[in-house]
């Protein structure tokens, strides 16, 4: 589609099936767009600044924190096997001495989480609790822990990867629900001091990527410009991904699959060279690892497009600061300095999103918004605080798809280009 046609645009179909006229505000915003060459020039400056940054990434060891904290690292199979063998020997010695056995499990409760402003991420304090076999309250979890350790040991010995679902189905009667085996798997990872990827247990494929990226997946060359509108599934075991190449100027992180497909079908990455990635909602470990790797190796800025509601911001915060559930691995899973591009509460009036496309926030939504305002990582960002306060005050939310009221391609033809042109992000 030519730039002239993009500027002229069309409105989406009305309820009667006929094409309605775009609102005057939508027309006005479309006219504010500069040429693609001018917009690209500002994007190139942003990309160049990101690549030229030489600031050292701080780690926990660089800080003198009052609380001891626990972090895990990638470890090879032989090292993890040795740790499991040591745990088994310790249990055997304890049983032979007549003391029974227990596991010292790091506490992953909310009270044991710590937000570190210097790192801009959540970490786990180094506090453990005994999971004893000879105690009625912990015997089942101790049994599950021993079972998971034996299964992981078998997987590593065979040098294969299995999914969390595979792990669950090896002993359904013991685990009862996959959430139980999943939680203990995280406990085992934290206890052994290794990432979950090091255990060779992965989640099923969820995230997808499309755009100006080439990489090798277990030796196969993948060109993400030739993956259609569905994109390339992000491999669940990221350790087999290598040799990332790209001429992109930025990474566009998208919350929803619907917005991802719209941008992929419109070939937005050709008009504005970028890599588009989504986890289709709540981010999975593989997508978070893949995003961190792209930013680190390609040194590209990351812009985020999420719904204008508390849950969209929660999803964005997981990418940036980590989740409390996996705070022990936040150094590997978090991508700092992601720019919140939209959809922001202030955009609803700025772009005059129709009232019928705005949704009233429920009491639960309002509570979630107020809870976010109490989070330390939100308090340190004045722009986030203002947007969240506006959301809670107006009690209005909107999905990315609300922009389709101005035309199905308004997102890719007007909203995103104008946002980038104005460098309107937080």
Element spanning 370, H or E: helix 363-373
Q: How far apart are the first and last CA of the chain?
A: 31
Please count the CA atoms within 13 angstroms of the CA of 276 that sit on its side-chain side: 32
Q: Is 169 among the residues known to form the active site?
A: yes
Structure tokens at 191: 């206890």
Q: What is the residue-wise DSSP string for 52-92? A: H--PPPP-GGGS--SS-EE--B---HHHHHHHHHHHHHHHH
Strands 214-217, 241-245: pairing is antiparallel
Query: Which residues, including other chains, have CB under 8 Å from residue 3's CB and lie 6 or more apart?
Result: 35, 36
DSSP code of 273?
T
Pick the closest to residue 199 from 177, 217, 181, 216 (CA basis).
181
- Torsions phi, psi for 38 (to 5 deg): -65, -40
Is 255 assigned to a binding site? yes
**Sheet containing 121-125: order of strands:** 69-70, 121-125, 113-116
b (16+ CB within 10 A) / e for 138-154: beebbebbbbbbebbbe
Ligand-binding site membership of 182 (annotated): no
CA distance 391 to 139: 46
Query: Residue 335 is encoded by which pair of tokens?
Result: 């991508």
Which of 169, 216, 269, 319 is catalytic? The answer is 169
Task: Give the catalytic positions in this structure.
Answer: 169
Per the annotation, binding residues for Mg(2+) are 255, 307
């Amino acid at each position: 589609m030519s730039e002239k046609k993009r500027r002229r645009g069309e409105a989406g179909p009305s309820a009667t099936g006929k094409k309605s006229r775009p609102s005057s505000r939508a027309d006005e915003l479309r006219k504010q767009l500069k040429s693609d060459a001018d917009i690209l020039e500002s994007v190139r400056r942003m990309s160049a600044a990101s690549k030229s940054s030489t600031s050292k990434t701080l780690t926990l060891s660089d800080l003198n924190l009052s609380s001891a904290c626990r972090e895990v690292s990638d470890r090879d199979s032989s090292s993890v096997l040795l740790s499991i063998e040591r745990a088994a020997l310790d249990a055997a010695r304890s049983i032979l001495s007549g003391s029974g056995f227990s596991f010292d499990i790091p506490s992953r409760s909310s009270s044991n989480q710590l937000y570190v402003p210097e790192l801009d991420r959540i970490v786990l304090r180094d506090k453990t609790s005994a999971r004893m076999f000879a105690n009625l309250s912990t015997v089942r979890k101790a049994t599950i822990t021993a079972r998971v350790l034996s299964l992981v040991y078998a997987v590593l010995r065979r040098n294969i990867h299995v999914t969390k679902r595979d792990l669950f189905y090896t002993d359904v009667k013991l685990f009862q629900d996959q959430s139980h085996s999943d939680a203990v798997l995280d406990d085992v990872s934290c206890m052994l001091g290794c990432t979950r990827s090091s255990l060779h247990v992965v989640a099923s494929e969820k995230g997808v990527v499309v755009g100006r990226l080439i990489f090798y997946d277990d030796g196969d060359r993948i060109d993400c410009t030739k993956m259609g509108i569905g994109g390339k599934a992000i491999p669940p075991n990221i350790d087999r991904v290598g040799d990332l190449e790209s001429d992109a100027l930025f990474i566009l992180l998208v919350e929803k699959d619907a917005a991802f497909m719209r941008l992929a079908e419109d070939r937005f990455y050709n008009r504005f060279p970028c890599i588009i990635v989504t986890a289709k909602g709540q981010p999975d470990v593989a997508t978070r690892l893949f995003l961190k790797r792209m930013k680190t190796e390609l040194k590209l800025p990351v812009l985020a497009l999420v719904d204008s509601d508390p849950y969209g911001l929660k999803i964005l915060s997981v990418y940036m600061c980590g989740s409390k559930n996996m705070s022990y691995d936040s150094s590997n899973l978090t991508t700092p300095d992601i720019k919140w591009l939209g959809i922001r509460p202030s955009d609803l009036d700025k772009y005059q999103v129709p009232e019928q496309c705005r949704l009233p926030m429920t009491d639960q939504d309002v509570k979630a918004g107020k809870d976010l305002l109490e989070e330390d990582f939100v308090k340190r960002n004045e722009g986030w605080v203002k947007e969240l306060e506006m959301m809670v005050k107006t009690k209005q939310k909107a999905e990315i798809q609300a922009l389709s009221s101005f035309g199905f391609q308004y997102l890719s033809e007007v909203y995103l280009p104008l946002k980038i042109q104005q460098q309107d992000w937080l």
